[in-house]
């Protein structure tokens, strides 16, 4: 069986032979592996991804490579990230059913996961660039973030279970280290792997001189590295979301770690805001305003549903050691104000994490297609500048934008501003 072999990267030509005898795979693809159709569809960042189809159906086979694929063997990256991705997928299935792809098979030594093939879903980022709408997008992501935040914390889990999980995930050092540097630190100085649109330089230079901003970002990094409130997805950008017109799924939790409740929510909203600011390069005037307005509605729905779902779970599933009923309901004291105060803290930190994600996607190594595909670099820089300045405002003064109307107003104001 495959898992008795030493690690070996799969290839299109060897996959059927290697996985054909695995019952969990064969039962879903078809009993004749020699007839399987196999395509490698990895986007080139980190992993091998195959779509394997046969008479019975299709599955996705994802295998980690021992290095960063987009950089090469000069940047080694441990295979164990596939283990944490598997642990995360299992926990997501428990805590927020129906959102992550179902796992059919896991081979630990091969760093290999066989999972549900999502079809006809496509990557949300492509849809946002193409101007497609997805029903319930904000609601689904907000609900997913709330369920994962609440059910992965000691508001819900028993302390022994939660502490054992923190211990398990503390074994993942290399992956969080990528986020720690690429997201929180590199954007704010001339780090070696950085790049940005040349015309954006005046904005970048000024941002990097803002010592108060850098201090606030580093304080948020300190929370990210130390504050094990809940299990995060860890990389919830619009390339980690797949959707149809009416179904939303979340994939690729290999950056999962225990961290602050606000992080995933903030990163998701940042990617909606970057889609928003990039729209003038992707839409004709006759559909631009309506589509941008829809994106702002998605953001509002995301925050609103997060709060509503978190409050619902607070009322119905508060079984952990934190804010126990013995202190509140059992004494005739409502715990609603305590929930609201916690949600307020989460909102503010989410806005600040949002600002950081908006920065790193135009200043650090990993850019996103929303801006990158704008070939006119002067236009790209102009739109990126709006994005960078709004990110700065969110980090510097999140309390000014805690109301969702103020947040939308801020986005609309920067969307009109001629920065460059």
Question: Under the rule (CB under 8 A), what is the footprint of its own copies?
Answer: 153-154, 159-160, 163-164, 166-167, 170-171, 173, 176-177, 180-181, 185, 188-189, 191, 208-209, 211-212, 214-215, 218-219, 221-223, 225-229, 321-324, 326-328, 330-331, 333-335, 337-338, 341-342
Nearer of residues 76 and 98 to its own copies, judged by Cβ = 76
d(CA 335, CA 344) in angstroms, rounded, equals 14
Q: Which is nearer to its own copies, 129 or 157 (CB)?
A: 157
Say how far apart CA 5 and CA 292 lie, in whole Å. Answer: 51
CB of 374 to its own copies, least distance (A): 29
- For the bound state, the minimum distance from the C-beta of residue 320 to its own copies, rounded and expressed in Å, comes to 9
Which residues fall within 8 angstroms of residue 328, CB to CB, at 6 or more apart? 334, 335, 338
The least CB distance from residue 223 to its own copies, in Å, is 8
CA atoms within 13 A on the CB side of 128: 30
| Alpha carbon distance 227, 403 (integer Å) | 25
Nearer to its own copies, 168 or 400 (CB): 168
CB nearer to its own copies: give 12 or 321: 321
What are the two backbone dihedrals, phi and then psi, of residue 77, each rounded to the nearest 5 degrees? -145, 125
Handedness of CA 4, 70, 243, 238 (dihedral sign): positive
> Would you say 70 or 164 has its CB closer to its own copies?
164
Instruction: Give the integer Cα–Cα distance in Å for 40 and 38.
Output: 7
Residue whose token pair is 């805690």: 402
Question: What's the closest the beta carbon of residue 321 comes to its own copies, in angstroms?
Answer: 6
Comparison of 9 and 215: residue with beta carbon closer to its own copies: 215
Nearer to its own copies, 1 or 330 (CB): 330
DSSP 328: T
Taking alpha carbons only, the member of 414, 420, 349, 394 closest to residue 205 is 420
Using a 10 angstrom Cβ sphere, with 0-12 exposed, 13-18 middle and 19 or more buried, the burial of residue 215 is exposed
Whichever of 136 and 225 has its CB closer to its own copies, that residue is: 225
Say how far apart CA 415 and CA 383 lie, in whole Å: 8
In the complex with its own copies, which residue's Cβ is closer, 240 or 256? 256
**How open is the CA angle 200-300-407, to the nearest 5 degrees?**
50
Q: What is the end-to-end Cα distance of the chain in Å, rounded?
A: 59
Q: Following CA atoms 390, 392, 397, 399 in sequence, which dihedral angle do they give, to the nearest 10 degrees?
A: 50
In angstroms, give the least distance from the CB of 167 to its own copies: 3
For residue 277, the minimal CB distance to its own copies (Å) is 25
**Shortest gap between Cβ of 207 and its own copies (angstroms)?**
12
Shortest reach from residue 360's CB to its own copies, in Å: 14
For tokens 């030594």, the residue is: 109
**Smallest distance, its own copies to C-beta of residue 357, A:** 18
177 token code pair: 């280290």
């Amino acid at each position: 069986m495959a898992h008795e072999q030493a690690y070996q990267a799969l290839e299109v030509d060897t996959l059927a032979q290697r996985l054909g005898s695995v019952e969990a795979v064969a039962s879903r693809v078809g009993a004749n592996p020699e007839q399987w159709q196999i395509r490698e569809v990895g986007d080139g960042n980190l992993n091998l991804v195959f779509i394997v189809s046969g008479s019975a159906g299709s599955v996705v086979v994802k295998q980690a490579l021992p290095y960063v694929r987009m950089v090469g063997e000069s940047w080694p990256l441990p295979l164990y990230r596939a283990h944490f991705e598997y642990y995360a997928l299992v926990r997501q299935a428990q805590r927020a059913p129906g959102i992550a792809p179902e796992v059919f098979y896991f081979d630990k030594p091969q760093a290999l996961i066989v999972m549900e093939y999502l079809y006809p879903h496509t990557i949300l980022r492509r849809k946002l660039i193409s101007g497609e709408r997805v029903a319930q997008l904000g609601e689904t992501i907000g609900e997913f973030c709330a369920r994962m935040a609440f059910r992965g914390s000691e508001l819900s889990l028993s302390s022994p279970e939660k502490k054992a999980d923190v211990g398990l995930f503390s074994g993942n050092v290399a992956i969080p280290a990528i986020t720690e540097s690429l997201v929180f630190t590199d954007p704010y100085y001339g780090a070696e792997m950085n790049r940005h649109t040349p015309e954006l330089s005046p904005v970048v230079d000024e941002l990097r001189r803002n010592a108060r901003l850098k201090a606030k970002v580093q304080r948020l990094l300190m929370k990210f590295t130390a504050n094990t409130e809940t299990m995060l997805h860890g990389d919830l950008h619009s390339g980690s979301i797949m959707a149809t017109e009416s179904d939303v799924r979340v994939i690729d939790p290999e950056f999962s770690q225990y961290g602050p409740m606000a992080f995933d929510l903030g990163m998701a909203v940042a990617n909606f805001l970057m889609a928003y600011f990039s729209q003038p390069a992707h839409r004709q005037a006759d559909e631009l305003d309506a589509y941008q307005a829809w994106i702002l509605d998605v953001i509002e729905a995301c925050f609103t549903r997060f709060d509503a779902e978190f409050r619902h779970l607070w009322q119905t599933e508060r079984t952990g050691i934190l804010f126990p009923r013995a202190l509140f309901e059992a004494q005739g004291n409502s715990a609603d104000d305590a929930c609201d105060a916690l949600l307020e803290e989460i909102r503010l930190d989410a806005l600040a994490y949002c600002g950081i994600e908006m920065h790193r996607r135009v200043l650090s190594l990993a850019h996103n297609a929303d801006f990158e595909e704008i070939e006119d670099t002067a236009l790209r820089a102009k739109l990126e500048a709006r994005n960078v300045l709004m990110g700065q405002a969110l980090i510097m003064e999140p309390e000014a934008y805690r109301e969702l109307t103020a947040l939308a107003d801020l986005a609309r104001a920067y969307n009109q501003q001629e920065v460059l």
